[in-house]
Amino acid sequence: MQSFEQYVDGAFEAGSARFDSIDPATGKVWASMPEAREADVDRAVKAAEQALRTGAWPALTATARGKLLYKLADLVQANAAKLAELETRDTGKIIRETASQIAYVADYYRYYAGLADKIEGATLPIDKADMEVWTRREPIGVVAAIVPWNSQLFLAAVKIGPALAAGCTIVVKASEDGPAPLLEFARLVHEAGFPKGVVNILTGFGPRCGSALTKHPGVAHIAFTGGPSTAAQVVRNSAENLASTSLELGGKSPFVVFADADLESAANAQVAGIFAAAGQSCVAGSRLIVEASVKERFLSLLKAKAEAIRIGTPFDVATEVGPLCTRRQRDHIEKVVAASVDAGATLVTGGRAGDGEGFYYLPTILDCDGVKAASVETELFGPVLSVLSFNTEDEAVALANATPYGLASGVFTRSLGRAHRMVRRIRAGIVWINTYRAVSPIAPFGGYGQSGHGREGGLAAALDYTRTKTVWLRTADEPFPDPFVMR
Protein backbone atom coordinates (compact mmCIF):
# COMPACT_ATOMS: atom_id res chain seq x y z
CA MET A 1 0.00 0.00 0.00
CA GLN A 2 1.35 3.45 -0.93
CA SER A 3 1.53 6.19 1.66
CA PHE A 4 1.28 9.94 1.05
CA GLU A 5 2.22 12.98 3.12
CA GLN A 6 0.93 16.52 3.47
CA TYR A 7 3.14 19.54 2.81
CA VAL A 8 3.18 22.29 5.43
CA ASP A 9 5.74 25.07 5.85
CA GLY A 10 8.18 23.42 3.46
CA ALA A 11 8.10 20.02 5.22
CA PHE A 12 6.45 16.71 4.40
CA GLU A 13 4.54 15.19 7.29
CA ALA A 14 2.20 12.32 8.07
CA GLY A 15 -0.62 14.53 9.45
CA SER A 16 -2.65 14.26 12.67
CA ALA A 17 -4.60 11.27 11.42
CA ARG A 18 -4.76 8.96 8.38
CA PHE A 19 -7.47 7.62 6.11
CA ASP A 20 -7.57 5.04 3.33
CA SER A 21 -8.00 5.87 -0.33
CA ILE A 22 -10.02 3.53 -2.55
CA ASP A 23 -9.12 2.54 -6.11
CA PRO A 24 -12.41 3.19 -7.98
CA ALA A 25 -11.61 0.55 -10.60
CA THR A 26 -11.51 -2.21 -7.99
CA GLY A 27 -13.33 -0.76 -4.99
CA LYS A 28 -10.31 -1.73 -2.87
CA VAL A 29 -8.02 0.31 -0.62
CA TRP A 30 -4.76 1.17 -2.39
CA ALA A 31 -3.17 4.03 -0.40
CA SER A 32 -3.02 5.75 2.95
CA MET A 33 -3.54 9.53 3.10
CA PRO A 34 -2.83 12.16 5.74
CA GLU A 35 -6.02 13.59 7.23
CA ALA A 36 -5.49 17.24 8.12
CA ARG A 37 -7.46 18.45 11.11
CA GLU A 38 -7.93 21.88 12.66
CA ALA A 39 -4.42 22.07 14.13
CA ASP A 40 -2.78 21.16 10.79
CA VAL A 41 -4.86 23.76 8.99
CA ASP A 42 -3.93 26.37 11.58
CA ARG A 43 -0.21 25.62 11.15
CA ALA A 44 -0.50 25.74 7.37
CA VAL A 45 -2.29 29.11 7.35
CA LYS A 46 0.17 30.54 9.86
CA ALA A 47 3.08 29.32 7.73
CA ALA A 48 1.48 30.97 4.70
CA GLU A 49 0.98 34.23 6.64
CA GLN A 50 4.60 34.20 7.77
CA ALA A 51 5.83 33.51 4.23
CA LEU A 52 3.65 36.31 2.87
CA ARG A 53 5.11 38.96 5.17
CA THR A 54 8.67 37.95 5.92
CA GLY A 55 11.58 36.08 4.41
CA ALA A 56 12.46 35.42 0.81
CA TRP A 57 9.04 35.48 -0.91
CA PRO A 58 7.99 39.14 -0.48
CA ALA A 59 11.57 40.17 -1.28
CA LEU A 60 11.47 38.48 -4.71
CA THR A 61 10.81 40.59 -7.77
CA ALA A 62 7.76 39.68 -9.83
CA THR A 63 10.13 38.43 -12.54
CA ALA A 64 11.81 36.11 -10.06
CA ARG A 65 8.40 34.76 -8.98
CA GLY A 66 7.68 34.11 -12.64
CA LYS A 67 10.96 32.19 -13.00
CA LEU A 68 9.99 29.92 -10.11
CA LEU A 69 6.64 29.28 -11.79
CA TYR A 70 8.42 28.43 -15.06
CA LYS A 71 10.54 25.94 -13.14
CA LEU A 72 7.44 24.41 -11.61
CA ALA A 73 5.86 24.16 -15.08
CA ASP A 74 8.91 22.29 -16.38
CA LEU A 75 8.79 19.91 -13.41
CA VAL A 76 5.08 19.23 -13.98
CA GLN A 77 5.83 18.46 -17.61
CA ALA A 78 8.76 16.20 -16.75
CA ASN A 79 6.67 14.33 -14.16
CA ALA A 80 3.39 14.30 -16.10
CA ALA A 81 3.41 10.53 -16.61
CA LYS A 82 3.79 9.82 -12.90
CA LEU A 83 1.17 12.39 -11.90
CA ALA A 84 -1.22 11.01 -14.52
CA GLU A 85 -0.75 7.49 -13.21
CA LEU A 86 -1.54 8.63 -9.67
CA GLU A 87 -4.62 10.55 -10.75
CA THR A 88 -5.87 7.57 -12.72
CA ARG A 89 -5.27 5.21 -9.79
CA ASP A 90 -6.89 7.46 -7.20
CA THR A 91 -9.88 8.81 -9.18
CA GLY A 92 -10.50 6.23 -11.91
CA LYS A 93 -10.17 8.89 -14.60
CA ILE A 94 -8.83 7.24 -17.74
CA ILE A 95 -5.09 7.45 -18.40
CA ARG A 96 -5.75 8.73 -21.91
CA GLU A 97 -7.25 11.89 -20.43
CA THR A 98 -5.08 12.34 -17.30
CA ALA A 99 -1.90 12.07 -19.40
CA SER A 100 -2.91 14.78 -21.84
CA GLN A 101 -4.56 17.00 -19.25
CA ILE A 102 -1.56 17.03 -16.92
CA ALA A 103 0.84 17.81 -19.74
CA TYR A 104 -1.42 20.80 -20.45
CA VAL A 105 -1.43 21.81 -16.75
CA ALA A 106 2.23 22.74 -17.26
CA ASP A 107 1.06 25.38 -19.77
CA TYR A 108 -1.24 26.93 -17.17
CA TYR A 109 1.78 27.45 -14.91
CA ARG A 110 3.71 28.87 -17.88
CA TYR A 111 0.91 31.29 -18.67
CA TYR A 112 0.90 32.62 -15.11
CA ALA A 113 4.71 32.59 -14.95
CA GLY A 114 4.71 34.98 -17.90
CA LEU A 115 2.03 37.12 -16.31
CA ALA A 116 3.80 37.61 -12.97
CA ASP A 117 5.67 40.75 -14.07
CA LYS A 118 2.81 42.13 -16.15
CA ILE A 119 0.45 42.86 -13.28
CA GLU A 120 0.63 46.63 -13.29
CA GLY A 121 -0.76 49.53 -11.35
CA ALA A 122 -1.67 52.80 -13.06
CA THR A 123 -0.83 56.49 -12.90
CA LEU A 124 -4.07 58.44 -12.62
CA PRO A 125 -4.82 61.71 -14.48
CA ILE A 126 -5.98 63.16 -11.17
CA ASP A 127 -8.14 66.29 -11.01
CA LYS A 128 -5.82 68.14 -8.58
CA ALA A 129 -2.85 70.09 -9.85
CA ASP A 130 -0.65 69.52 -6.78
CA MET A 131 -1.00 65.74 -6.56
CA GLU A 132 0.55 62.68 -8.17
CA VAL A 133 -1.70 59.65 -7.69
CA TRP A 134 -0.96 56.12 -8.66
CA THR A 135 -2.13 52.60 -7.83
CA ARG A 136 -0.20 49.50 -6.90
CA ARG A 137 -1.52 45.95 -7.30
CA GLU A 138 -0.51 44.11 -4.14
CA PRO A 139 -1.06 40.43 -3.29
CA ILE A 140 -4.46 39.94 -1.68
CA GLY A 141 -2.96 37.80 1.09
CA VAL A 142 -3.18 34.15 2.10
CA VAL A 143 -5.37 32.18 -0.30
CA ALA A 144 -7.38 29.11 0.69
CA ALA A 145 -7.89 26.91 -2.37
CA ILE A 146 -10.40 24.06 -2.24
CA VAL A 147 -10.85 21.60 -5.07
CA PRO A 148 -13.20 18.67 -5.76
CA TRP A 149 -12.05 15.22 -6.81
CA ASN A 150 -12.19 15.53 -10.57
CA SER A 151 -9.14 17.09 -12.26
CA GLN A 152 -7.51 18.13 -9.00
CA LEU A 153 -4.17 19.11 -10.56
CA PHE A 154 -5.91 21.19 -13.19
CA LEU A 155 -8.32 22.86 -10.77
CA ALA A 156 -5.46 23.59 -8.37
CA ALA A 157 -3.30 25.03 -11.18
CA VAL A 158 -5.92 27.66 -12.05
CA LYS A 159 -5.69 28.84 -8.43
CA ILE A 160 -2.02 28.30 -7.54
CA GLY A 161 -0.75 29.81 -10.82
CA PRO A 162 -2.45 33.23 -10.57
CA ALA A 163 -2.11 33.37 -6.76
CA LEU A 164 1.67 32.94 -6.91
CA ALA A 165 2.02 35.21 -9.93
CA ALA A 166 0.31 37.92 -7.88
CA GLY A 167 2.66 37.31 -4.92
CA CYS A 168 0.15 35.57 -2.62
CA THR A 169 0.82 32.50 -0.53
CA ILE A 170 -1.58 29.58 -0.55
CA VAL A 171 -3.01 26.65 1.37
CA VAL A 172 -4.57 24.07 -0.92
CA LYS A 173 -7.07 21.51 0.34
CA ALA A 174 -7.25 18.52 -1.98
CA SER A 175 -10.50 16.57 -2.01
CA GLU A 176 -10.44 13.57 0.28
CA ASP A 177 -11.47 11.58 -2.80
CA GLY A 178 -8.42 11.11 -5.00
CA PRO A 179 -5.87 13.47 -3.38
CA ALA A 180 -2.77 11.47 -4.42
CA PRO A 181 -1.74 13.57 -7.46
CA LEU A 182 -1.90 16.88 -5.57
CA LEU A 183 0.05 15.50 -2.61
CA GLU A 184 2.67 14.23 -5.07
CA PHE A 185 2.66 17.61 -6.85
CA ALA A 186 3.80 19.16 -3.53
CA ARG A 187 7.15 17.42 -4.10
CA LEU A 188 7.54 19.38 -7.33
CA VAL A 189 6.74 22.65 -5.56
CA HIS A 190 9.48 21.76 -3.08
CA GLU A 191 11.94 20.84 -5.82
CA ALA A 192 11.22 24.06 -7.74
CA GLY A 193 12.56 25.96 -4.73
CA PHE A 194 9.62 28.05 -3.53
CA PRO A 195 10.39 29.44 -0.07
CA LYS A 196 8.82 27.44 2.75
CA GLY A 197 5.23 28.28 3.58
CA VAL A 198 4.47 29.81 0.17
CA VAL A 199 2.56 26.71 -0.97
CA ASN A 200 1.02 24.29 1.54
CA ILE A 201 -0.96 21.24 0.41
CA LEU A 202 -3.26 19.25 2.66
CA THR A 203 -6.17 16.94 2.36
CA GLY A 204 -8.91 16.09 4.80
CA PHE A 205 -12.64 16.00 5.19
CA GLY A 206 -14.77 18.98 4.23
CA PRO A 207 -16.60 19.58 7.50
CA ARG A 208 -13.34 19.56 9.50
CA CYS A 209 -10.43 20.52 7.28
CA GLY A 210 -12.34 22.57 4.69
CA SER A 211 -14.35 24.37 7.32
CA ALA A 212 -11.33 25.23 9.47
CA LEU A 213 -9.53 26.54 6.40
CA THR A 214 -12.33 28.72 5.06
CA LYS A 215 -13.05 30.23 8.52
CA HIS A 216 -9.44 30.86 9.42
CA PRO A 217 -8.78 34.49 10.37
CA GLY A 218 -5.51 34.44 8.42
CA VAL A 219 -7.22 33.72 5.08
CA ALA A 220 -7.90 36.70 2.78
CA HIS A 221 -9.35 34.98 -0.29
CA ILE A 222 -11.08 31.66 -0.86
CA ALA A 223 -10.89 30.08 -4.30
CA PHE A 224 -13.43 27.28 -4.23
CA THR A 225 -14.45 24.67 -6.78
CA GLY A 226 -17.22 22.26 -5.87
CA GLY A 227 -20.96 21.97 -5.54
CA PRO A 228 -23.37 24.84 -4.79
CA SER A 229 -24.46 23.56 -1.36
CA THR A 230 -20.84 23.31 -0.18
CA ALA A 231 -20.23 26.75 -1.67
CA ALA A 232 -23.07 28.15 0.45
CA GLN A 233 -21.34 26.68 3.52
CA VAL A 234 -18.02 28.20 2.42
CA VAL A 235 -19.62 31.62 1.99
CA ARG A 236 -21.16 31.33 5.47
CA ASN A 237 -17.70 30.45 6.81
CA SER A 238 -16.25 33.49 5.10
CA ALA A 239 -18.52 35.67 7.26
CA GLU A 240 -16.02 34.90 10.03
CA ASN A 241 -12.88 36.13 8.27
CA LEU A 242 -14.55 38.36 5.63
CA ALA A 243 -12.43 36.71 2.95
CA SER A 244 -13.37 37.40 -0.65
CA THR A 245 -14.52 34.37 -2.62
CA SER A 246 -14.40 33.03 -6.13
CA LEU A 247 -16.77 30.13 -6.68
CA GLU A 248 -16.55 27.67 -9.57
CA LEU A 249 -19.59 25.47 -9.10
CA GLY A 250 -21.63 22.92 -10.93
CA GLY A 251 -23.68 23.01 -14.07
CA LYS A 252 -26.53 21.53 -16.06
CA SER A 253 -25.21 22.77 -19.34
CA PRO A 254 -27.39 22.87 -22.47
CA PHE A 255 -26.14 21.37 -25.72
CA VAL A 256 -28.31 22.87 -28.45
CA VAL A 257 -28.43 21.23 -31.87
CA PHE A 258 -30.23 22.96 -34.75
CA ALA A 259 -31.45 21.03 -37.78
CA ASP A 260 -28.92 22.79 -40.05
CA ALA A 261 -25.94 21.57 -38.01
CA ASP A 262 -23.37 19.02 -39.13
CA LEU A 263 -25.08 16.24 -37.16
CA GLU A 264 -22.15 13.81 -37.28
CA SER A 265 -19.82 16.44 -35.86
CA ALA A 266 -22.40 17.51 -33.27
CA ALA A 267 -22.88 13.91 -32.17
CA ASN A 268 -19.13 13.50 -31.62
CA ALA A 269 -19.06 16.72 -29.62
CA GLN A 270 -22.05 15.54 -27.58
CA VAL A 271 -20.17 12.33 -26.78
CA ALA A 272 -17.24 14.49 -25.60
CA GLY A 273 -19.65 16.70 -23.69
CA ILE A 274 -21.33 13.99 -21.64
CA PHE A 275 -19.39 10.73 -21.79
CA ALA A 276 -15.77 11.95 -21.60
CA ALA A 277 -14.42 11.67 -18.05
CA ALA A 278 -17.51 9.47 -17.44
CA GLY A 279 -19.48 12.72 -17.28
CA GLN A 280 -17.62 13.87 -14.16
CA SER A 281 -17.05 17.29 -15.54
CA CYS A 282 -18.53 20.56 -14.34
CA VAL A 283 -19.08 21.61 -17.97
CA ALA A 284 -20.78 18.35 -18.95
CA GLY A 285 -23.31 19.06 -21.70
CA SER A 286 -25.90 17.04 -19.82
CA ARG A 287 -29.04 18.47 -21.44
CA LEU A 288 -29.34 17.82 -25.17
CA ILE A 289 -31.79 20.31 -26.68
CA VAL A 290 -32.33 19.20 -30.25
CA GLU A 291 -34.56 20.57 -33.02
CA ALA A 292 -37.58 18.25 -33.28
CA SER A 293 -37.21 17.68 -37.04
CA VAL A 294 -33.80 15.98 -36.58
CA LYS A 295 -34.33 14.49 -33.14
CA GLU A 296 -34.79 10.87 -34.22
CA ARG A 297 -31.85 11.01 -36.66
CA PHE A 298 -29.59 12.64 -34.09
CA LEU A 299 -30.58 10.22 -31.33
CA SER A 300 -29.88 7.20 -33.48
CA LEU A 301 -26.41 8.58 -34.33
CA LEU A 302 -25.79 9.23 -30.65
CA LYS A 303 -27.10 5.87 -29.48
CA ALA A 304 -24.75 4.08 -31.89
CA LYS A 305 -21.81 6.15 -30.64
CA ALA A 306 -22.73 5.65 -26.97
CA GLU A 307 -23.03 1.90 -27.40
CA ALA A 308 -19.67 1.71 -29.20
CA ILE A 309 -17.83 3.39 -26.29
CA ARG A 310 -15.11 1.18 -24.87
CA ILE A 311 -15.68 0.79 -21.14
CA GLY A 312 -12.79 -0.67 -19.23
CA THR A 313 -9.98 -0.35 -16.79
CA PRO A 314 -8.75 3.25 -16.62
CA PHE A 315 -5.14 2.19 -17.22
CA ASP A 316 -5.88 0.70 -20.64
CA VAL A 317 -5.16 3.38 -23.27
CA ALA A 318 -8.01 1.99 -25.36
CA THR A 319 -10.56 2.69 -22.60
CA GLU A 320 -12.90 5.59 -23.28
CA VAL A 321 -15.10 5.48 -20.18
CA GLY A 322 -13.75 4.30 -16.84
CA PRO A 323 -15.33 4.05 -13.42
CA LEU A 324 -16.85 6.90 -11.43
CA CYS A 325 -14.69 8.18 -8.62
CA THR A 326 -16.81 6.95 -5.72
CA ARG A 327 -19.48 4.39 -4.88
CA ARG A 328 -21.54 7.27 -3.43
CA GLN A 329 -21.50 8.97 -6.84
CA ARG A 330 -22.60 5.84 -8.68
CA ASP A 331 -25.40 5.15 -6.19
CA HIS A 332 -26.66 8.72 -6.58
CA ILE A 333 -26.76 8.40 -10.37
CA GLU A 334 -28.60 5.08 -10.17
CA LYS A 335 -31.26 6.65 -7.98
CA VAL A 336 -31.84 9.71 -10.16
CA VAL A 337 -32.00 7.66 -13.38
CA ALA A 338 -34.51 5.25 -11.80
CA ALA A 339 -36.65 8.16 -10.56
CA SER A 340 -36.55 9.75 -14.03
CA VAL A 341 -37.67 6.54 -15.72
CA ASP A 342 -40.46 6.23 -13.11
CA ALA A 343 -41.50 9.77 -14.00
CA GLY A 344 -41.91 8.76 -17.65
CA ALA A 345 -38.48 9.30 -19.25
CA THR A 346 -37.59 6.75 -21.95
CA LEU A 347 -34.30 4.95 -21.74
CA VAL A 348 -32.58 5.16 -25.13
CA THR A 349 -29.49 3.30 -23.94
CA GLY A 350 -27.62 2.41 -20.74
CA GLY A 351 -29.42 3.02 -17.47
CA ARG A 352 -27.52 0.68 -15.20
CA ALA A 353 -24.26 0.13 -13.35
CA GLY A 354 -21.46 -1.67 -15.18
CA ASP A 355 -20.72 -5.33 -14.60
CA GLY A 356 -18.06 -6.54 -12.20
CA GLU A 357 -16.13 -4.71 -9.53
CA GLY A 358 -15.47 -0.98 -9.58
CA PHE A 359 -17.82 1.97 -9.69
CA TYR A 360 -18.84 1.78 -13.35
CA TYR A 361 -22.01 3.22 -14.86
CA LEU A 362 -22.99 2.71 -18.49
CA PRO A 363 -23.24 5.68 -20.89
CA THR A 364 -26.91 6.54 -20.62
CA ILE A 365 -29.36 8.52 -22.76
CA LEU A 366 -32.79 9.41 -21.39
CA ASP A 367 -35.45 10.90 -23.64
CA CYS A 368 -37.16 13.36 -21.30
CA ASP A 369 -39.36 15.19 -23.82
CA GLY A 370 -42.57 16.32 -22.17
CA VAL A 371 -41.61 14.71 -18.86
CA LYS A 372 -40.69 16.34 -15.56
CA ALA A 373 -37.64 14.16 -14.93
CA ALA A 374 -35.14 14.69 -12.10
CA SER A 375 -32.27 13.99 -14.52
CA VAL A 376 -33.09 17.22 -16.41
CA GLU A 377 -32.69 19.36 -13.31
CA THR A 378 -30.16 17.59 -11.09
CA GLU A 379 -26.44 17.82 -11.74
CA LEU A 380 -25.49 14.15 -11.90
CA PHE A 381 -21.77 14.39 -12.52
CA GLY A 382 -21.97 11.15 -14.45
CA PRO A 383 -22.45 9.75 -17.99
CA VAL A 384 -26.16 10.53 -18.24
CA LEU A 385 -27.67 12.64 -21.02
CA SER A 386 -31.22 14.00 -20.79
CA VAL A 387 -32.86 14.82 -24.14
CA LEU A 388 -35.39 17.59 -24.83
CA SER A 389 -36.59 18.97 -28.16
CA PHE A 390 -37.74 22.31 -29.61
CA ASN A 391 -39.39 23.72 -32.72
CA THR A 392 -38.32 27.37 -32.68
CA GLU A 393 -35.20 29.32 -31.75
CA ASP A 394 -37.13 31.00 -28.91
CA GLU A 395 -38.04 27.60 -27.50
CA ALA A 396 -34.40 26.50 -27.73
CA VAL A 397 -33.31 29.59 -25.78
CA ALA A 398 -36.03 29.11 -23.16
CA LEU A 399 -35.02 25.47 -22.61
CA ALA A 400 -31.30 26.32 -22.55
CA ASN A 401 -31.90 28.94 -19.85
CA ALA A 402 -34.37 26.84 -17.84
CA THR A 403 -31.83 26.08 -15.12
CA PRO A 404 -30.53 27.94 -12.09
CA TYR A 405 -27.02 27.03 -13.29
CA GLY A 406 -25.10 28.83 -16.02
CA LEU A 407 -21.63 27.41 -16.47
CA ALA A 408 -21.27 26.25 -20.08
CA SER A 409 -23.31 25.71 -23.22
CA GLY A 410 -22.91 24.39 -26.74
CA VAL A 411 -24.63 25.56 -29.93
CA PHE A 412 -24.48 23.58 -33.16
CA THR A 413 -25.60 25.37 -36.31
CA ARG A 414 -24.25 26.37 -39.73
CA SER A 415 -26.00 29.74 -39.51
CA LEU A 416 -23.61 32.48 -38.45
CA GLY A 417 -26.45 34.86 -37.57
CA ARG A 418 -28.17 32.28 -35.38
CA ALA A 419 -24.89 31.46 -33.64
CA HIS A 420 -24.46 35.14 -32.73
CA ARG A 421 -28.08 35.44 -31.57
CA MET A 422 -27.66 32.39 -29.34
CA VAL A 423 -24.42 33.76 -27.87
CA ARG A 424 -26.28 36.91 -26.82
CA ARG A 425 -29.28 35.07 -25.37
CA ILE A 426 -27.78 32.13 -23.49
CA ARG A 427 -27.07 32.81 -19.83
CA ALA A 428 -23.80 30.97 -19.25
CA GLY A 429 -20.14 31.77 -18.68
CA ILE A 430 -19.04 29.80 -21.75
CA VAL A 431 -20.67 29.33 -25.16
CA TRP A 432 -18.99 26.81 -27.42
CA ILE A 433 -20.13 27.04 -31.03
CA ASN A 434 -19.72 23.91 -33.14
CA THR A 435 -17.30 22.59 -30.54
CA TYR A 436 -17.35 21.55 -26.90
CA ARG A 437 -15.13 21.04 -23.85
CA ALA A 438 -12.25 23.22 -25.09
CA VAL A 439 -10.22 25.05 -22.44
CA SER A 440 -7.10 27.21 -22.38
CA PRO A 441 -5.12 29.16 -19.80
CA ILE A 442 -5.76 32.23 -21.94
CA ALA A 443 -9.57 31.95 -21.81
CA PRO A 444 -11.61 32.95 -18.72
CA PHE A 445 -13.73 30.20 -17.23
CA GLY A 446 -16.62 30.52 -14.78
CA GLY A 447 -20.35 30.66 -14.35
CA TYR A 448 -23.56 32.62 -14.00
CA GLY A 449 -26.18 32.06 -11.29
CA GLN A 450 -25.77 28.86 -9.24
CA SER A 451 -22.61 28.06 -11.20
CA GLY A 452 -20.80 30.65 -9.13
CA HIS A 453 -18.92 33.88 -9.61
CA GLY A 454 -15.37 34.92 -10.38
CA ARG A 455 -13.35 33.70 -13.34
CA GLU A 456 -10.40 31.35 -13.58
CA GLY A 457 -7.97 31.50 -16.49
CA GLY A 458 -6.86 34.59 -18.34
CA LEU A 459 -5.46 37.87 -17.10
CA ALA A 460 -8.48 38.83 -15.00
CA ALA A 461 -7.98 35.78 -12.79
CA ALA A 462 -4.57 37.02 -11.70
CA LEU A 463 -6.04 40.42 -10.82
CA ASP A 464 -8.53 38.66 -8.51
CA TYR A 465 -5.53 37.73 -6.36
CA THR A 466 -4.50 41.34 -5.92
CA ARG A 467 -5.89 44.36 -4.14
CA THR A 468 -5.38 47.92 -5.16
CA LYS A 469 -3.43 50.34 -3.05
CA THR A 470 -3.86 54.01 -4.01
CA VAL A 471 -0.92 56.31 -3.32
CA TRP A 472 -1.34 60.11 -3.04
CA LEU A 473 1.76 62.29 -3.21
CA ARG A 474 1.46 66.03 -2.75
CA THR A 475 3.96 67.88 -4.93
CA ALA A 476 3.34 71.44 -3.62
CA ASP A 477 6.00 73.05 -1.38
CA GLU A 478 3.45 75.28 0.42
CA PRO A 479 2.11 74.14 3.83
CA PHE A 480 -0.90 71.83 3.96
CA PRO A 481 -3.99 74.02 3.33
CA ASP A 482 -7.20 74.45 5.39
CA PRO A 483 -7.40 71.23 7.46
CA PHE A 484 -11.21 71.52 7.82
CA VAL A 485 -11.95 71.18 4.13
CA MET A 486 -11.72 67.86 2.37
CA ARG A 487 -9.47 68.22 -0.62
Whole-number minimum distance, CB 329 to ligand NDP, in Å? Answer: 8
The CA angle 387-385-292, to the nearest 5 degrees, is 20
User: What does the DSSP 8-state code read for residue 206?
Assistant: I
393 carries an active-site annotation: no
197 vs 146: CA distance, rounded Å: 17
Q: Which of 5, 35, 248, 379 is catalytic?
A: 248
Whole-number minimum distance, CB 463 to ligand NDP, in Å? Answer: 18
Please report, as residue ranges, which positions from 189 to 228 form the binding site for ligand NDP (by CB under 6 A). Answer: 205-207, 210-211, 214, 225-227
| Residue 35 binds to ligand NDP (criterion: CB under 6 A) | no
Taking residue 443's Cβ as centre, other Cβ atoms within 10 Å add up to: 12
430 vs 447: CA distance, rounded Å: 8
Count, residues near ligand NDP per rule CB under 6 A? 30
282 carries an active-site annotation: yes
143 vs 213: CA distance, rounded Å: 10
From residue 246 to residue 275, what is the string marking binding to ligand NDP with x (rule CB under 6 A)? --xxxx------------------------
What is the SS3 assignment for 432-480? EECCCCCCCCCCCECCCHHHEECCECHHHHHHCCEEEEEEEEECCCCCC
Q: Which is nearer to ligand NDP, 88 or 389 (CB)?
A: 88
Q: Which of 209, 282, 325, 368 is catalytic?
A: 282
Q: Are the CB atoms for 310 and 126 separated by under 8 Å?
A: no
Please report, as residue ranges, which positions from 279 to 318 form the binding site for ligand NDP (by CB under 6 A). Answer: 282
Q: Which is nearer to ligand NDP, 165 or 234 (CB)?
A: 234
Please report, as residue ranges, which positions from 357 to 416 form the binding site for ligand NDP (by CB under 6 A). Answer: 379, 381, 407
Q: Are the CB atoms for 205 and 33 separated by under 8 Å?
A: no
Whole-number minimum distance, CB 264 to ligand NDP, in Å? Answer: 29
Q: Which stretch, 69-77, 242-250, 252-260, 264-272, contacts ligand NDP (CB under 6 A)? A: 242-250
Whole-number minimum distance, CB 291 to ligand NDP, in Å? Answer: 27
Taking residue 340's Cβ as centre, other Cβ atoms within 10 Å add up to: 27
Of the candidate residues 34, 148, 351, 449, the single one contacting ligand NDP (CB under 6 A): 148
User: Which helix (H) or strand (E) covers residue 362, if one does?
Assistant: none
Q: Which of 380, 372, 379, 374 is nearest to 451 (CA)?
A: 379
- As annotated, the active-site residues are 248, 282
User: Which positions touch ligand NDP (CB under 6 A)?
Assistant: 146-150, 155, 173, 175-177, 205-207, 210-211, 214, 225-227, 230, 233-234, 248-251, 282, 379, 381, 407
